Amino acid sequence: MEQVLGVQFGRRYESDGGGYIILEQAPYEPGVGYTTKLDLVEAVSNALYSTGGRSIECGLDPDDWSMKTHVYAYPSSNTLSFFTGATHGSVGGGVHETITVKEVLSFRLSDRSTLRYPPLGISSRQWQGDVYDGDGKRVAPPALTLDGRSMFASAVVYGQVLLTYRTFRRNYRVTIIPREDSVENVYQSVFYAVWPGGVAMEKIDPPPGAEEDYANGSNCGWRTIVNTNGPDDKKKPPILDSEDKDFHVDYCTQERKD
């Protein structure tokens, strides 16, 4: 039985009074898809002395070129019912998590600001520096009131407040295998969440350099300048050392004299 899923791109959450969901892809670990200085040093040592330098993390499975990432779904309420999926790849997990968030809210001559995530409760609030009114005069920090994700100040001010609060989310594991019928954007996929009030969507970003690695069949190796083999597993030509050369030029004719 086929079902038609109506979707709308361009917004990370939708709401019509029936709740909302914010989607967010987890960032990759530092260094994934990149070659650090330590990687280079150890790779050079391995190339010269066979010391067994550590492998470089590309974020891709060397067996099937699949990539793995996580997507967080922040529902407006932990009782909101919804289902998830991806336009390409598999989705698993959905582990329930409660995390603590520290966020700086800015009031720029306004009396309202919006939290990034749906809060379960505010643990602490602390104004950062002085607070000013519309005339540029220093004033006492206004009282704050929370309504959903909106934080209201009792007066129009210019200032920043540091909030610590808890929020609820579900942690989904997404695995994407390259599209065999594509010559580019082989990891392209969109994660979605559907609930009675709407649809939320989040474009999945592959690890840095993943598309290039898959196209070259290199799995990070060809992008490291110290690797001695190319994507066809053949030795790369040696890189000659640079050297200085002196030329003598006739001052009048500007012609080179050998």
Divide the 258 residues of the chain into consecutive groups of 10 and give the mean pLDDT of each group: 35 57 93 68 71 68 89 95 95 94 96 96 94 95 94 96 97 94 89 95 93 78 43 46 60 63
pLDDT score, position 190: 97
In this prediction, residue 35 carries a pLDDT of 61
Q: What pLDDT does residue 7 have?
A: 34
Q: Which residue(s) pair with 201 in the sheet?
A: 192
Q: What per-residue confidence (pLDDT) applies to 212?
A: 85
Q: Which of 72, 29, 28, 74 is nearest to 166 (CA)?
A: 74
pTM reported for the whole predicted model: 0.72
pLDDT score for 1? 37
In single-letter form, the type of residue at position 11 comes to R
CATH class of the structural domain 97-167: mainly beta
> DSSP 3-state assignment of 202?
strand
- Structure token pair of residue 226: 């110290």
Tokens 């029936």 map to which residue?
Answer: 18
Q: Evaluate whether 153 touches 184 at the Cβ level (below 8 Å).
A: no
| CA 20 to each of CA 12, 82, 113, 222: distance values in angstroms, whole numbers, following the listed order | 10, 10, 18, 44
Start and end residues for every CATH 2.60.40 domain found in the chain: 97-167
> At 65, which amino acid appears?
W
